[in-house]
Structures are given as C-alpha cells and as structure tokens.
C-alpha cells in the first residue's frame, strides 16, 4: 500500500461518516460502513485509479457520496450502505423488471444489483442523450460517475438552484420524454432533490430505483414522478399540469 492509498483509506475510516462515536480508537462495531465496504472502496480505488477522496458531498441513510480525484480529475464515488439500504424497498423496484429477473436476491447481492442497476440505467440514459452524469464504473456497492460542480462546490439540487425555472421545466419535460420513449425507463424517484443544475443544464441523478417501462408498477411510478415535478414547478410559479405532462412524456400528445 502506498502512502497515498493509506491516507485515503484512513481518511475514509476516520471520517465522521464511518464512526458513530467520533473516537477513532473504538472498535469495528462503531463503524457505520462495514469492513466489506471498506475493502470494496479500497479495491475500487485501485481499479479505477482513484488518487484520493476529497470530501463527502452528502451522507444519507442509504448512501454516501464523495467527491474524489481520479487521474487528477474530479469524479463522484457513491457508496451504498450495506446495512441500512432497505431490502423490502429495493425488492419492489428489482422484482418485476425483466432485465434483472433471474438474479439471486439475498441481502448483499441485492445491494450489488442495485448498484449495477444504477450504472446500467445511467448508461442507457446517457446513450439516449439525456443529461445525466456520465457513469464511469461500478464495483460491488460502489458506483463512480462524472462529478457535476466546480472545484469548490458540487452543483446545487434543482430546489436550491437559481436557474431560470421556465427553462428548467422545459428541459425536465424533454428529459422525461426521452427517458420514457427512447431509454424506455421511468426514473421512479424524480423530484427537485434528484436533479442538479450544472452550466444551466438540468441533470437527473439517482437512478438506482429506476425501472423499465414494462415494470408492472411503471405507470404508478411515472405518475408519481410527474406529480412531484408539477408540484415543484407550480410552487415556483410555472404552470405545470400533471396530465399534460404525462401525455407529453409518453408521446401521446404528439
Ligand atoms: N454526479 C454528481 N455530482 C455532484 N453531486 C452529486 C452527484 N451525484 C450526487 N450528488 C450529490 O449527492 C446527493 C445524493 O446523491 P443521490 O441522490 O444519487 O443519492 P441518494 O439520494 O442517497 O440516493 P438513494 O436515495 O438511492 O440512497 C445529491 O443530492 C447531490 O447533492
Ligand atoms: Mg437522491
């Protein structure tokens, strides 16, 4: 292990995100991320030439997102937490998606599958020219992707963005349309929290739960997405009607 590897790993292990007590001397039960994940982080660092982890951008119940550097360029490393990612919730989005039907689905495998699903969904969306972070790779419960933001700060979520909201809405509509008609996917957790604005463009993120349009609950998820989007834009003073949006997205209004 080089000194650089070691410092990155130490930085990770001793960051507050990993240790509940804040006391680095405590034993492994205090580490929020299990050792399997630490090992996976370390393997990913080798596999994808990650120089070091810069800072955690966000730490939620289910994942932690780091800004990192690979070959001197900023990237994002998103790590799904093995223990708190809710199994039953995941199952709902994996079961019924023909692309993942024949996979074994025990606890850790479903988290790995979730990670791979986010990667595949991002890649598919990207191939259909939808504004999403470019996926770089994945390893177990870790996914790497393009970093959206400046050296100093990550791009803001749409809810905190100063982008022109009229323009943002037309971009979101178009992306939802391409996602449905070309990528044949429904995001299934779309909201002002899961869109970032970068250089005046609205990017969709967080595709772990996204499903094929063939999924038995796809329509329900799509309607929920449309309601979230309209609620947000209506609050911002932009006219957004859920039924109009749905027919635009599915291409029925053409
Ligand atoms: N590519 C990116 N570039 C910059 N910031 C990002 C990027 N991806 C994620 N983020 C930041 O991290 C936050 C969390 O990311 P994301 O929504 O993918 O994870 P999450 O909400 O924890 O996902 P899940 O609900 O599946 O656990 C985002 O709201 C955003 O602020
Ligand atoms: Mg999110």
60 lines ligand 1 (CB under 6 A): yes
Q: Which ligand is nearest to the CA of 64?
A: 1
150 lines ligand 1 (CB under 6 A): no
Is 189 one of the annotated active-site residues of the chain? yes
What's the pLDDT score for residue 82?
81
Atom 18 of ligand 1, residue of closest alpha carbon: 206
Ligand 1: atom nearest CA of 145 is 1
Q: Kindly give the distance from the C-alpha atom of residue 189 to the centroid of ligand 2, in angstroms, as a whole number.
A: 8
For the chain, list the strands marked E by DSSP. Answer: 50-59, 63-70, 73-80, 135-139, 142-146, 185-186, 195-198, 201-204, 211-212
What CA–CA distances, in Å, run from 195 to 45, 69, 151, 171, 191?
27, 23, 19, 11, 7
User: Please, are residues 72 and 95 in contact by the beta-carbon 8 Å criterion?
Assistant: no
Is 206 one of the annotated active-site residues of the chain? yes
Mind listing the pLDDT tens digit of every residue in the chain (254 residues)? 555 555 556 666 555 545 444 444 443 333 356 788 889 999 999 999 999 988 889 987 788 999 999 999 999 999 998 876 566 677 778 888 888 877 766 778 888 999 999 999 999 999 999 999 999 999 999 999 999 999 889 999 999 999 999 999 999 999 999 999 999 999 999 999 999 999 999 999 999 999 999 999 999 999 999 999 999 999 999 999 999 999 999 998 75
Q: Kindly give the distance from the C-alpha atom of residue 194 to the centroid of ligand 2, in angstroms, as a whole number.
A: 5
154 lines ligand 1 (CB under 6 A): yes
Q: 51, 189, 241, 244: which is the annotated catalytic residue?
A: 189
153 lines ligand 1 (CB under 6 A): no
Ligand 1: atom nearest CA of 193 is 29
Instruction: Indicate the pTM of the whole model.
Output: 0.87
Q: Phi-psi bin for 85: left (phi > 0), alpha (psi -120 to 50), beta?
A: beta
Q: Kindly give the distance from the C-alpha atom of residue 65 to the centroid of ligand 1, in angstroms, as a whole number.
A: 6
Q: Which domains does the chain have, with CATH numbers?
A: 3-146 (3.30.200.20), 158-250 (1.10.510.10)
What's the pLDDT score for residue 21?
46
What's the pLDDT score for residue 27?
39
Q: Kindly give the distance from the C-alpha atom of residue 191 to the centroid of ligand 1, in angstroms, as a whole number.
A: 12
Q: Kindly give the distance from the C-alpha atom of residue 78 to the centroid of ligand 1, in angstroms, as a whole number.
A: 8
62 lines ligand 1 (CB under 6 A): yes
141 lines ligand 1 (CB under 6 A): no
Q: What is the largest CA-CA distance in the chain?
A: 63
* Backbone angles phi and psi of 106, in degrees to 5: -85, 175
């Amino acid at each position: 292990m080089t000194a650089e590897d070691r410092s990155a790993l130490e930085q990770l292990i001793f960051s507050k995100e990993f240790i509940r007590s804040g006391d680095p001397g405590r034993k492994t039960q205090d580490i929020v991320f299990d050792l399997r994940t630490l090992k996976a982080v370390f393997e990913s660092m080798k596999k994808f030439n990650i120089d070091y982890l810069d800072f955690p951008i966000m730490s939620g119940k289910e994942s932690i997102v780091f800004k990192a550097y690979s070959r001197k360029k900023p990237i994002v490393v998103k790590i799904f937490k093995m223990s708190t990612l809710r199994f039953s919730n995941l199952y709902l989005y994996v079961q019924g998606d023909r692309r993942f039907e024949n996979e074994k689905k025990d606890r850790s495998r479903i988290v790995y599958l979730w990670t791979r699903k986010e990667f595949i969904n991002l890649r598919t969306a990207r191939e259909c020219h939808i504004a999403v972070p470019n996926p770089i790779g994945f390893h177990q419960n870790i996914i790497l992707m393009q970093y959206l933001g400046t050296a100093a700060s990550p791009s803001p979520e749409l809810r905190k963005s100063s982008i022109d909201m009229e323009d943002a809405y037309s971009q979101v509509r178009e992306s939802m349309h391409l996602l449905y008609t070309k990528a044949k996917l429904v995001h299934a957790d779309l909201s002002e929290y899961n869109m970032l604005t970068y250089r005046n463009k609205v990017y969709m993120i967080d595709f772990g739960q996204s499903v094929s349009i063939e999924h038995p609950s796809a329509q329900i998820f799509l309607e929920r997405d449309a309601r979230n989007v309209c609620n947000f834009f209506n609050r911002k003073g932009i006219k957004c009607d859920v039924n109009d949006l749905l027919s635009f997205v599915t291409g029925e209004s053409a």
